[in-house]
Structure 1
Amino acid sequence: MSGKKINYIIPHTHWDREWRYPIWKNRMLLIEFMEELLEILDTNPDYHCFLLDGQVAPIEDYLEVKPENKAKVDSYIAEGRIAVGPWYTLPDLYPLDGECLVRNLLKGIRVSEKHGRCMKVGYNSFGWGQTAQFPQIYNKFGIDFIICAKKVSKDRAPESEFMWEGPDGTRMLTTRLGDNARANFYFYTYLYGKYGINCLSGEFAYHPRLSGMAVHNAAAGHADEDFFMVSSKMNYEKEWLEKGFLDTEKGTEDTVAKDNRLYLDGTDFSTPHPELTDMLQDLKEIFPEQEFMNTRLEEYAEKMHEIIDKDSLKTVFGELRDGPSCDCSGNALASRMYLKLLNKKAENLLIRKAEPFMAVNFLLGNGYESGYLGKAWDYMLKAHPHDSINGVTQDKTADDVEYRLNQAVEMGQVLCDHAAYGVIRQLNFGDEHEGKQALVVFNPHPFEIEEVCKVMAATPREDAVWSLEAQDMYGNRLKTQEIMRDEKSFPVHDMEARPWPYAADRHEFYVETGVIPAMGYKTIFLEPKSRFSRTHYYWMEMRKSEGCDICVSDNILENENLKVTVNFNGTMNMLDKAGGEVYENLHYFEDAGDVGNYWAYYPPYHNQIYTTLTESAQVWCEDNGPLSATLGICYRMMLPAAGFESKCGVYGEGKRSEEKKAFEIVSYITLEKGAKSLKVRTVVENNVENHRLRVAFPTGIQAETVDTAGHFCVDKRPAHPVKDQNGEFYPEMRTLPMQIFADVSDPHRGLGIVNSCFTEYEMKDDQTLYMTLFRAMGNMIVTWWEAVGEFPGKKGSQLQRKMEFEYAIYPHKGSWEEAQVYAEARKINTPVMIYQVIGGKGGSLPLEQEFLRIDSKNLQVSAFKKSEDRESLILRVYNPTGKVIRTQIGLNVPGFKAGRVTECNMNEEPTEITCAVTDNVWETEVGVNEIKTFEIV
């Protein structure tokens, strides 16, 4: 082979667990695929390696129904002939929390190794955009070569190979592949060699004489389903290979490694290519000066490290998500929005609450429900494949994803309760408080907080309690604000007896918590304030007021920090008292037509865009008092009932319908005592089709950038469009991903929208910040440019359902860092947990306790959990700011003493860096945009 040009041919398939077809149809296709692959490996020793798409979940799926083949499959994985991992499934990146990407790799590596071997290449040809922190993430998993797609443009990376630099400065050798990326050899050589036609042209159309026998279920209920080939052409023509490979070669001319080229032979649901080794042998005869190798990706990666002068490569910075939006599936972020809302709920329960408090229980000696947590994560991770989480599927598949996420949510809540019970069981109420009614409030944040909580507490019916008062363990009175009361009978579950009946009066009220310790808890005691007669109709006790209610007039909310005035059209003017800044006409809704597909937003020709600015809104006071006040705002629009797509841009009118429907949006705005942000809960019962709904915030801030929470960093993106050399840009690429906040600021003031619901934003040139609530569109699955599956009778993608969105408007001084916007966003995503305790007894834990404290609010906790492989804990933090953070981290769990704290990589393998620990406290320095993982023994 010396001196020859080497062509590395990697056969693969892009295998979605579910996409064009629901999961069990795909499972049958997977069985057929795996049976063919195993037969090839059994009979053809020259077939060296098949790449199973950088994931391992298909192996689990196959062995679930074919367990008898486990030994054979595992042996081929161990030999390297089937390459799996490092991913577990193939997630979309931007709709997910960054920690979910880490967990996917953690599980993918371990499951792959359990089956024999894990591929250690950063293979992400499936991502719909590539997150900025991938170089650091892969590096901290021991991976040093990245294959990416969808996408970095040729303008940013004119050569296929480049150095990708993340926000923390980590640089990684990366390739964007050639034209048609993961399908370059498959499209031009393999398919042309079989059929003698250009598969990217109009010539590529089904004809039985060309391709084989196809079958369609002809029953009426299956009318929209695909045809399936049951007898395919299985040979190729040697004389067609030369042209096919020369065309393939042209697609890789951007490589700097001209004599070492990578060709990927596969596409969506492609076969193991049984003809491949014969094709390669024929290609060697046709091109005797070249070598054609079927090998593993690692071998190609090692060669690239060996021959490429990395200093000569161009460096590409930050996220790889270049337009147009159809090339990076850029507008799928708001499709099937109900799945994203459920996923965020599951993430917050599992990552921010269940795991940390289970970790605390582990340190308290109460055990750690690893199996239960693992099952919850399994449900959630299997909802994260890119087609699944975005719902770019048939309705049945989206229903399956919704089911998995609902299981993860349910299990997350059960785990939160279980962890809380473990702590509460050990509380020492002592003689003074034993048997009293109590509330135990858990703070999931590594910093102290003060909250106003809405509580539902029950008192024995025979006590006839009318109102309650609250105090802390020191006897300090805590304010309450009554809402309502009613009767209810509860079963009290008891493993040692039948459920006990408990006849109670239920009280709904707000209570101020006072300071709750960092990632800890606080006990609040409830005492009867007054009682009543259950048979006394008149007169019931009259309420009293101190005259400091937050709703000071019919349309105004005001506390120590903010004054919010609701205008006639439902917009709000907000005064930030700390800086004296006024923000006007915040929070109106914009509705536009959407006749695009799942992946890209297309406005209809003759688009009609409506707003709530010109309509009067109905405003009412929902509740009011000194702790919390809520105004309801009902916005009404008359919207086109549907929209009509212009197929291929020319078939059909492409417009919104003439028929209109009344469309309502209800927002509940809540201001609490001491709050620096205004909470909003928006409820939409969608009854129209083919539209995009957004909420708008005119900031009035001349900002050059928009700062948004990303994956382990804050993405700082231009506030104005980046134009090409012709002065043009893609408008749909101004709609950009976000996690839990988007913030605009100048040196003096800023406005943040913190949320647990939004996935994308757009900043307009008039300084208005838009958040997308959802996109509703038709159900069309684009399997190929000229082959689409349409399901006009299935309306799930039109989102004809009720959806709720929770967010807050946070005006502040200075930048997001100075205002600690991240901490404000964490609070809305992860509110406190509150439990009523009746009959508390003597235990070992104090009534108030801090468990984990981090002195800097800008240092974010990504994970606090038990390690995957050892009897230790893992704490992962990251610094999203532009400055080095030096801080102390303290664990204060009674009875626990940290024997050793060691830095480890993301794969939880210890490094040689240990931390000096004194009284369970250690100091750390976390660099700009650095992720650090600690193991606590």
Structure 2
Amino acid sequence: MDSSKKTAHIISHSHWDREWYLPFETHRHLLVKLMDTLLDTIESDPSFRSFHLDGQTIILDDYLAIRPEQQERLARHIREGRLIIGPWYVLQDEFLTSSEANVRNLQYGHRDAAKYGEEVVCKIGYFPDSFGNMGQAPQLLLQAGIDTAVFGRGVTPTGFNNSVGDAGEYESPYSEMMWKSPDGSSVLGILFANWYCNGMEVPVDPEQAKAYWDSRLDKAEKFASTPHLLFMNGCDHQPLQTDLTEAIRTAERLYPDTRFVHSSFEEYVQAVKATMPERLSVIEGELRSQRTEGWYTLVNTASARVYLKQMNHKVQTLLEKAAEPLAVFAASLGHPYPSHWLEYGWKTLMQNHPHDSICGCSVDEVHREMVTRFEKSGQVAENVIAESLQTITGHIDTSAFAGDGAAGESAFPFTVFNTSGWERKGTVSVELTVGHSYFSEGAPDRLARELGALPLPTGLLVDENGRPVLHTLDDLGVQFGYDLPDDKFRQPYMGRRIRLTFHSGAVPALGYRTYAWVTGQAAHTAAAAEAVAGEKVTAGERTLENRYLKVEIEGDGSLTVTEKRTGRIYAGLGVYEDTGDIGNEYIYKQSADGSVWTTEGCAADIRLTEDTGYRAAIEIVHRIKLPASADERLEAEIAGMVPFTSRKACRSSATVPMELRLIVELEANGKGVRLLSSFDNKAKDHRLRMLFPTDSRSSVHYADSIFEVARRDNEPSAEWKNPSNCQHQHAFASVHDETSGLTVANRGLQEYELVRDGRSTIAVTLVRSVAELGDWGVFLTPEAQCLRPCTAELYVIPHDGGGEEPAFSAYAEAYKYQIPWQTIQIRPDMTEAGRELADRHLLPASLSFLQWSGAGMAFSSLKLNEQTGDWMARWYNMGKRGTELSFRMNAVIGAESAYRSGILEDAGAELAAENGAELTAGGCEIVTVGIRPASVSR
């Protein structure tokens, strides 16, 4: 075959947005019709060689849920290579889903594909319509045995309606390039330079086909570095072209010097690799279309329907940072690892991760269903957590709390779990039942009266060493409760409940610490206060101070924070900013009047609301009026499909009241200031942000991204025309220069901007309200106005400057901030269950299950390999320089051996060491280690 001969590779597909401008079930109705037609076509036309199922295995689940009788028929064509599946479970938005969610997506996609055969998974990193691509994708793909990525955005300018423009300076002259991760991992990158529909609806009629192919061949050759030209035969929800074989024959007759092949990605990529230039352009890191006019990067999907991002953050965190590691610990003590529940929880969550779903850029019906999925996935995570906690605490030795012959019922032990990768201190709240009577003992109303009439006994909170702990007690009264035993019917009771809030002291990483409420003893408040004398916060009417920070509340509610060790002062923090928004779910566009409202200089109501010694808080309230909406012009512009860049709508003269309530908290040991903002959003067509001036002299800043702390320029490229330059974040955004730095962490607020205001201000979006979906039609989305009670949680951390290393400790604080404490009361019936196992694996009152150290390393996850029972632990290097990572198992569990692994959890090089190991992590490397625990029966 002449390798220089032009070859048109026609790949049949349909880009399947699971839900978007129509709700899921309507899209599925179309999917079933497509799949039925596809199966019939494959069987009736031997020349229809293959169909690419959009890189996501969830399509199979969605189809078979309606057509289960097609299972074997479908499987046969997958095994024969005519239906090409994987490698993902869903086509996710990479930036709005966590690092581990991206990994689970690849893991479950591979597992689903493997059900149909060992070699059927498509080893192509498929990103057809991601709104930008994560910088660590090449490293992740290589660890999964994938050396080629195909993507639609992020390098050359792609228009809003999926059209391609010719203007602008491209990072690569070709659609083929080398894409390199920060660690140096490199894959072949192939851009859909003419989008993923450039071969759709190929004409059969010769006259039409001639015009079609003259244009399409020319456009493909314009970008191709080889004679192999890619034509994607399909588009969004595109029905199957059943006469494609005939259309290809027409093209062959018209262009005898060009080969037309009904191809696959495997065949096309092999041909490209065999003929591509020796040197291609190298693109590095994140693909975010920075060298474009900036309107169509679609980054403002990070602030569309913020409540969805917050729900996603909560559930993701519960699954990967609590349910999984706690289930690992429980499995090492004999409890079955709940892989089936975790898979169900993850898959239910990931059904919300396609880009049109998690991005909040669909019709309202889609996002209502998402809320239910978040709730279901969260319930799964909570159930796994509860069972795991019960198992673990059933092995904890609580005999120390009985002390001096005190009656067992006078001590109420409980355990606080820290599932982050770092030792942690902070304020913890736990609810305890300190007396209860089962319904079998009498009528519920009588039991309630009797329990309520009893005086609450005095008591003392102590740690595992018997030292008093400063705390606050709230009597919650008598409440209904119930047990659900494994071996009998439900056991309802009335219980006397209290809430203890206290300073935890140091709780070990990936471990726990046990405390007890001991009744019948004097509450030695003075002794408890003395125990935390070095970890104390003091408060005034407008000041909060601990040994690290001093916080002053100005008259307008802004914060002035002094980092006491260096004396560095950060002023004007926490100001609200509000502007009009006449864009859509994809894109923020400020109203034509350009009006900006802020709380700067506006008097606020300020009062001290908490002062316990271990925590203090000040409440700040602004009562304001905002424009009720855009003016009437916006409605007409939307209905008339006026491009958003040409809209002239301003903000309405009518106003609505809003109350902005901000709680400012400082903990005794806190290295940052916690902010909790709450408001009832009554305004439409606007964006509300909180501002954090850093006054940094740096030209770059940093943001938590997928397995990396991404370095980004403060100034966009010369081609950038958009007045706004918003970006994605996960845990934090950070700015630091040679002398100081400021890191602003958040929980589920995924849009920020480094404002070019001369102060290097970090602006975090709290809510964005818009009226329409946008894109190719008129789809009104009244619920995207987010007219609802809203909350926003942030954590402001001042720190040293002088390079990346001084910021690592602040980043660790930000990561810890994401993860909720887990608490559980240890009840006597728990400690009786599984006594034989508990006797063999009796746990101390304080323990770290997995200890590790490594400068600049961030802990990411701990889960079990379901096939081998091995612990799979993952870290990533936040810095560019190599570093040493060491880890050690606790003595109770122990480790037989350990090995290097990857994101698909395969066994690599052995790491020989007793109960732990040491290894070198390269700069920006993602490190996965498999640990064979000694306590697991093999």
Q: Common fold, TM-score beyond 0.5? A: yes
Q: Does residue 184 of the first structure (1) align with residue 198 of the second (2)? A: yes
Deviations 1:773-814 (A, max 9, x none): 1211013353x3xxx1323xx521111112222111101112
CA contact (8 A) 2:460 2:518 kept: yes
The one-letter code of the counterpart of 1:336 is R
Q: Does residue 568 of the first structure (1) align with residue 555 of the second (2)? A: yes
CA contact (8 A) 1:451 1:512 kept: yes
Q: Does residue 730 of the first structure (1) align with residue 722 of the second (2)? A: yes
Query: In the aligned structure 2, how far is the partner of 1:453 from the partner of 1:544?
Result: 16
The one-letter code of the counterpart of 1:90 is L
Query: In the aligned structure 1, how far is the partner of 2:15 from the partner of 2:709?
Result: 31
Residues 252 and 569 (structure 1 numbering): CA distance in 2 closer, same or farther, change over 3 Å?
A: same
Q: Does residue 901 of the first structure (1) align with residue 883 of the second (2)? A: no
- Residue in 1 that maps onto 2:288: 321
Query: In the aligned structure 1, how far is the partner of 2:31 from the partner of 2:154?
Result: 28
2:911 paired residue among 912, 915, 929: 915
Query: In the aligned structure 1, how far is the partner of 2:886 from the partner of 2:223?
Result: 47
CA contact (8 A) 2:418 2:822 kept: yes
2:391 paired residue among 413, 418, 422: 422
CA contact (8 A) 1:597 1:778 kept: yes
CA positional deviation for 1:369 = 0.9
Deviations 1:19-77 (A, max 9, x none): 11111111111111111111111111001011111112111111111011111111111
Query: In the aligned structure 1, how far is the partner of 2:34 from the partner of 2:891?
Result: 52
Deviations 1:325-379 (A, max 9, x none): 4533221111011111000001110000110010111112222111111111111
CA contact (8 A) 1:479 1:512 kept: yes
CA contact (8 A) 2:14 2:54 kept: yes
- Residue in 2 that maps onto 1:675: 670
1:165 paired residue among 180, 193, 213: 180
Secondary structure, in 3 states, of the residue corresponding to 2:895?
coil
Q: Which runs of 4+ in 1 moved over 6 A?
A: 529-532, 541-549
Q: Does residue 775 of the first structure (1) align with residue 795 of the second (2)? A: no
Query: In the aligned structure 1, how far is the partner of 2:101 from the partner of 2:806?
Result: 28
- Residue in 1 that maps onto 2:74: 73
Deviations 1:109-144 (A, max 9, x none): 121222342111111112110110111111111111
CA contact (8 A) 1:481 1:626 kept: no
Query: In the aligned structure 2, how far is the partner of 1:636 from the partner of 1:563?
Result: 26
**RMSD between superposed Cα atoms in Å:** 2.4
- Residue in 1 that maps onto 2:936: none
CA positional deviation for 1:291 = 0.6
Secondary structure, in 3 states, of the residue corresponding to 2:42?
helix
- Residue in 1 that maps onto 2:447: none
The one-letter code of the counterpart of 1:578 is R
Query: In the aligned structure 2, how far is the partner of 1:829 from the partner of 1:139?
Result: 29
- Residue in 1 that maps onto 2:138: 135
Query: In the aligned structure 2, how far is the partner of 1:588 from the partner of 1:29?
Result: 48
CA positional deviation for 1:649 = 4.5
Secondary structure, in 3 states, of the residue corresponding to 2:133?
coil
1:666 paired residue among 658, 661, 664: 661
Secondary structure, in 3 states, of the residue corresponding to 2:198?
helix
User: What are the within-5 Å matches in structure 2 for residues 881-900 of structure 1?
Assistant: 881-892=879-890, 894=892, 896-900=893-897
Query: In the aligned structure 2, how far is the partner of 1:797 from the partner of 1:545?
Result: 49
CA contact (8 A) 1:356 1:863 kept: yes
CA positional deviation for 1:653 = 4.7
The one-letter code of the counterpart of 2:731 is I
CA contact (8 A) 1:352 1:830 kept: yes
Of residues 135-144 and 441-450 in structure 1, the stretch that sits farther from structure 2 once superposed is: 441-450
2:921 paired residue among 918, 923, 926: 926
- Residue in 1 that maps onto 2:586: 599
Query: In the aligned structure 1, how far is the partner of 2:39 from the partner of 2:753?
Result: 49
- Residue in 1 that maps onto 2:339: 370
1:831 paired residue among 803, 820, 844: 820
The one-letter code of the counterpart of 1:287 is Y
Of residues 773-782 and 56-65 in structure 1, the stretch that sits farther from structure 2 once superposed is: 773-782
The one-letter code of the counterpart of 1:730 is N
Query: In the aligned structure 2, how far is the partner of 1:424 from the partner of 1:545?
Result: 28
Secondary structure, in 3 states, of the residue corresponding to 1:477?
coil
Residues 469 and 430 (structure 1 numbering): CA distance in 2 closer, same or farther, change over 3 Å?
A: closer
CA contact (8 A) 2:206 2:254 kept: no
CA contact (8 A) 2:576 2:689 kept: yes
Query: In the aligned structure 1, how far is the partner of 2:433 from the partner of 2:231?
Result: 67
Query: In the aligned structure 1, how far is the partner of 2:687 from the partner of 2:647?
Result: 20
User: What are the within-5 Å matches in structure 2 for residues 205-354 of structure 1?
Assistant: 236-310=204-278, 312-322=279-289, 323-354=292-323
The one-letter code of the counterpart of 1:174 is G
CA positional deviation for 1:892 = 1.0
Secondary structure, in 3 states, of the residue corresponding to 1:514?
coil
CA positional deviation for 1:658 = 1.5
Residues 720 and 653 (structure 1 numbering): CA distance in 2 closer, same or farther, change over 3 Å?
A: closer
The one-letter code of the counterpart of 1:752 is T
User: What are the within-5 Å matches in structure 2 for residues 400-799 of structure 1?
Assistant: 400-430=369-399, 433=402, 434-435=408-409, 436-460=411-435, 461=451, 464-465=455-456, 467-482=458-473, 484-495=474-485, 503-528=494-519, 550-644=537-631, 645=634, 646-647=637-638, 648-649=642-643, 653-724=648-719, 729-732=721-724, 734-765=725-756, 766=758, 767-782=760-775, 784=776, 788-791=777-780, 794-799=781-786
Query: In the aligned structure 1, how far is the partner of 2:70 from the partner of 2:40?
Result: 12
Secondary structure, in 3 states, of the residue corresponding to 1:557?
strand
CA positional deviation for 1:915 = 0.4
Query: In the aligned structure 2, how far is the partner of 1:130 from the partner of 1:684?
Result: 34
The one-letter code of the counterpart of 2:25 is W
Query: In the aligned structure 1, how far is the partner of 2:81 from the partner of 2:768?
Result: 43
- Residue in 1 that maps onto 2:147: 144
- Residue in 2 that maps onto 1:224: none
CA positional deviation for 1:731 = 2.6
Deviations 1:451-499 (A, max 9, x none): 22133334235763355322222222222234x3241223241425565
Secondary structure, in 3 states, of the residue corresponding to 1:8?
strand
The one-letter code of the counterpart of 1:892 is N
Q: Does residue 45 of the first structure (1) align with residue 36 of the second (2)? A: no
Secondary structure, in 3 states, of the residue corresponding to 1:518?
coil
1:356 paired residue among 309, 322, 325: 325
CA contact (8 A) 2:7 2:227 kept: yes
Query: In the aligned structure 2, how far is the partner of 1:414 from the partner of 1:817?
Result: 39
The one-letter code of the counterpart of 2:38 is L
Query: In the aligned structure 2, how far is the partner of 1:45 from the partner of 1:501?
Result: 65
CA contact (8 A) 1:757 1:807 kept: no
Query: In the aligned structure 2, how far is the partner of 1:897 from the partner of 1:19?
Result: 49
CA positional deviation for 1:652 = 7.3
Query: In the aligned structure 1, how far is the partner of 2:528 from the partner of 2:878?
Result: 47
CA contact (8 A) 1:429 1:847 kept: yes
**TM-score, normalised to structure 2's length?**
0.89
Secondary structure, in 3 states, of the residue corresponding to 1:664?
strand
The one-letter code of the counterpart of 2:897 is R
Deviations 1:495-546 (A, max 9, x none): 25565565554333422222222211111122237799xxxxxxxx999999
Q: How high is the sequence identity, in percent, across the aligned residues?
A: 26
User: How many residues in Structure 1 have an aligned counterpart in Structure 2?
Assistant: 867
The one-letter code of the counterpart of 1:410 is Q
Query: In the aligned structure 2, how far is the partner of 1:812 from the partner of 1:741?
Result: 14
Structure 2's unaligned 5+ residue stretches are 157-168, 403-407, 436-450, 833-837, 933-938
Of residues 253-262 and 27-36 in structure 1, the stretch that sits farther from structure 2 once superposed is: 253-262
The one-letter code of the counterpart of 2:843 is L
CA contact (8 A) 1:464 1:505 kept: no
CA contact (8 A) 1:346 1:409 kept: yes
Query: In the aligned structure 1, how far is the partner of 2:270 from the partner of 2:512?
Result: 52
